[in-house]
Structure 1
Amino acid sequence: MKATIERAALLKGLSHVQSVVERRNTIPILSNVLLDAAAGGGLKLMATDLDLQIVETVAAAVDQPGATTVSAHTLFDIVRKLPEGAQVQLSAADGKMLVAAGRARFNLATLPRDDFPVIAEGDLPTQFELPAAMLRQIIDKTRFAISTEETRYYLNGIYLHVAEEGPSGPVLKAAATDGHRLARVTVPAPAGAEAMPGVIVPRKCVAELRKLLDEVDGTVDLSLSATKIRFGLGTAILTSKLIDGTFPDYSRVIPTANDKLLKIDPKSFAQGVDRVATIASEKTRAVKMTLDRDKVVLSVTSPENGTAAEEVPGDYTALGFDIGFNARYLMDILGQIDGDLVEVHLADAAAPTLIRENDKAAALYVLMPMRV
């Protein structure tokens, strides 16, 4: 294999693929990136952790087609440190790969390409397109609620499914929950998605996809089956196994009869929560909200640090009461509200609370209260 490639193009491609590679691997070849130089020009970079696979094609002048695998993090670090504008020559033979740029020379050990594992996609019957901006919105407004508890592995991702909703036709819903909070986004279902199975996209795939979406302007091609999903993102293709589990029926926890409504500015509310939470104990992060006519008093009592209180104006006319929330969870949700007003639908100190911008908003959040 022999190819010449511009440093910037190679660095961009490697930055995408190397982040899929785990730092610690019991199987040596999984630490490597597959470099495949095609006869017609172009260099294909590929990395996998056996559950997630990324393939990126970058422009290159190919003198001799061929393929090899080399340490992903080492090659990335080398290319990162090469001078800007450098032309990088890659040539592989006899179990070694020479990386040359300007006066720098690196001889790296390689492993044969035939040992490199490839995720077998199988048949992906459901295919549709989503605008990149919409996919970014879906991820940004839900992923903070993904559970990190490995024992509840079926919550370690975003649940995508299609539902029929009234006269407006089918909708695509994305939901994530960790048992304490729930985030859900609803968008019109794209053509071709109607018959898709409900799938759970793993947390690592969501993180890698979000990074790649920053460089995509148009649409993203989605292809999926009940076990695999593939995202076509211009020059990159991301393929992932899906979580084999049943996502809980989250619609049961979305309250429909919360009759106490607080309308408040999300930014001043979040800042107030953040300020009083400064003295909250790390373990509970509990903040008490005392609701009164047209105001909310936020307070924290910490045995170690003392007390804090702040009054935030808001539109509230129902009976006053006290309710407690985890400050971090509340701030995560408020940080996703784009407008100047957020609706907080409450029932009592023990019932789930519904938070949304308004009844037309695509995103909806449910937060479980804490005892304070």
Structure 2
Amino acid sequence: MKLTIERAALLKSLAHVQSVVERRNTIPILSNVLLEAAGGKLSLTATDMDLTIVEEVEAEIGAEGATTAPAHTLYDIVRKLPDGSQIEIAMAGENGQMTLSAGRSTFTLTTLPREDFPASTQGELPQNFKVPATELRNLVDRTRFAISTEETRYYLNGIYLHAAESGGVPVLRAVATDGHRLARFEMPLPDGAKGMPGVIIPRKTVGEVRKLLEEADDSVTIALSETRIQFSFNSTILTSKLIDGTFPDYERVIPSGNDKAMEVDRKSFREAVDRVSTISSEKSRAVKLALSDSMLVLSATSAENGSAVEEIEVGFSGEGLEIGFNSKYLLDIAEQIEGGEALFHFSDAASPTIVRDAGDESALYVLMPMRV
């Protein structure tokens, strides 16, 4: 194998694939990236056995061939080479070593045979549809902060993606919850997504897809079965196993009788919560909201730090209410609201609260209160 490639092109592809590779591996081959040179292109593949990424990049191929090299080491070398470098990669003889040279720098890396690299699990992915990259980015951003990190309830460790109906209109809906808060986002159901199985996309896969979406401007093709999902970008294909579990009936958590509505300027609210929560203890992060006519009083107290109070004008009339929340959860939700106004629907101090963007119906958040 022999090829020449521009540093920027190789670095970009390596950045995508190496992040799938776990830092600690008991199986040596899983620390490596598979490099295949053929037909004017270099193909890079990395896997952790649950998640596989393949990316193709143009290169000048002197001799076709394939090998595997340590992913993180290779990425660090290319990252530290000067901008604009032309990189030459070659396999010399049968000694299992690969040389990488650029300018006056030469590196020799130990490789493992291409045959040792796990074959990607092929199989039919019957469902196939396209989603605009901007919409998919929105879907991930509006829900992933609520993914649970508690390993015992593994079925909550991802985003639940499924076809649903909203007001008689078919939608593609994403839901994530950690038991304390719930995030739901929906968009018009894409062509080809009707009848798709409900799937739980693992947290790591969601993170890798989000990184790739940073550079995607067109639409992303999603193909899935009941056990696997595949995201195809321009030159990158990410395939992942799905979480094998049943997502809970989230509809039961979304309250329907919350009759106390408060409209508040999102920016002022976020900043006030941030300021007041400086006082709250690291453990509870509790902030109290006291509502009365056109006024919201935010307060926090802690034995070690003292107390803080701030008032904001809001759109609210009716019977007053005092309710407590984890300030971090309030800030996470406020961060997702893109419009100027946030809409809160309360019931009482012990019941879940609904939060929405006053100007956008596509996202809905549910927040459990806490005692303060």
TM-score (norm 1): 0.98
User: Kindly tell me: are residues 285 and 227 of structure 1, through their superposed partners in 2, closer, same or farther at Cα, counting changes over 3 Å?
Assistant: same
User: CA shift at 1:92, angstroms?
Assistant: 1.3
Matched, 1:256 2:256: yes
User: CA shift at 1:195, angstroms?
Assistant: 1.3
Matched, 1:328 2:328: yes
User: CA shift at 1:118, angstroms?
Assistant: 3.0
The match for 1:68 is 67
Determine the C-alpha separation between the residues in 2 that align with 1:268 and 1:310.
11
Matched, 1:123 2:124: yes
Which runs of at least 4 in structure 1 moved beyond 4 Å after TM superposition? none
The match for 2:21 is 21
Determine the C-alpha separation between the residues in 2 that align with 1:186 and 1:195.
16
SS of equivalent residue, structure 1 residue 361: strand
The match for 2:99 is 98
User: CA shift at 1:154, angstroms?
Assistant: 0.3
SS of equivalent residue, structure 1 residue 23: coil
- Which residue identity does 2:287 align to in structure 1? V
Contact map agreement 2:341 2:359 (CA 8 A) in 1: no
The match for 2:348 is 348
User: CA shift at 1:301, angstroms?
Assistant: 1.1
Gaps of 5+ in 2: none
Contact map agreement 2:339 2:358 (CA 8 A) in 1: no
Deviates more, 1:356-365 or 1:75-84: 356-365
Q: 1:123-272 to 2 correspondence within 5 Å?
A: 123-168=124-169, 170-272=170-272
- Which residue identity does 1:137 align to in structure 2? N
Contact map agreement 2:339 2:360 (CA 8 A) in 1: no
Determine the C-alpha separation between the residues in 2 that align with 1:121 and 1:283.
46
Determine the C-alpha separation between the residues in 1 that align with 2:166 and 2:309.
43
Contact map agreement 1:255 1:352 (CA 8 A) in 2: yes
Aligned CA RMSD, in angstroms, stands at: 0.9
Determine the C-alpha separation between the residues in 2 that align with 1:163 and 1:173.
6
The match for 2:3 is 3
SS of equivalent residue, structure 1 residue 70: strand
Determine the C-alpha separation between the residues in 2 that align with 1:369 and 1:293.
21
Contact map agreement 2:67 2:113 (CA 8 A) in 1: yes
Contact map agreement 1:261 1:318 (CA 8 A) in 2: no
- Which residue identity does 1:173 align to in structure 2? R
Contact map agreement 2:264 2:314 (CA 8 A) in 1: yes
Number of equivalent positions: 370
- Which residue identity does 1:107 align to in structure 2? T
The match for 2:368 is 368
User: CA shift at 1:28, angstroms?
Assistant: 0.5
Contact map agreement 2:339 2:359 (CA 8 A) in 1: no
User: CA shift at 1:25, angstroms?
Assistant: 0.5
Contact map agreement 1:300 1:309 (CA 8 A) in 2: yes
The match for 1:49 is 48
Determine the C-alpha separation between the residues in 2 that align with 1:309 and 1:297.
7
SS of equivalent residue, structure 1 residue 301: strand
The match for 2:84 is 85
The percentage of counterpart residues that share the same residue type is 62
Determine the C-alpha separation between the residues in 2 that align with 1:371 and 1:131.
42
- Which residue identity does 2:56 align to in structure 1? T
- Which residue identity does 1:65 align to in structure 2? E
The match for 2:112 is 111
SS of equivalent residue, structure 1 residue 362: strand
Determine the C-alpha separation between the residues in 2 that align with 1:70 and 1:297.
59
Q: Deviations over 1:263-296 (max 9, x none)?
A: 0011111110110100111110000000011011
- Which residue identity does 1:25 align to in structure 2? N
SS of equivalent residue, structure 1 residue 354: strand
User: CA shift at 1:359, angstroms?
Assistant: 7.6
Matched, 1:339 2:339: yes
The match for 2:274 is 274
The match for 1:285 is 285
Determine the C-alpha separation between the residues in 2 that align with 1:165 and 1:337.
20
Contact map agreement 1:121 1:228 (CA 8 A) in 2: no
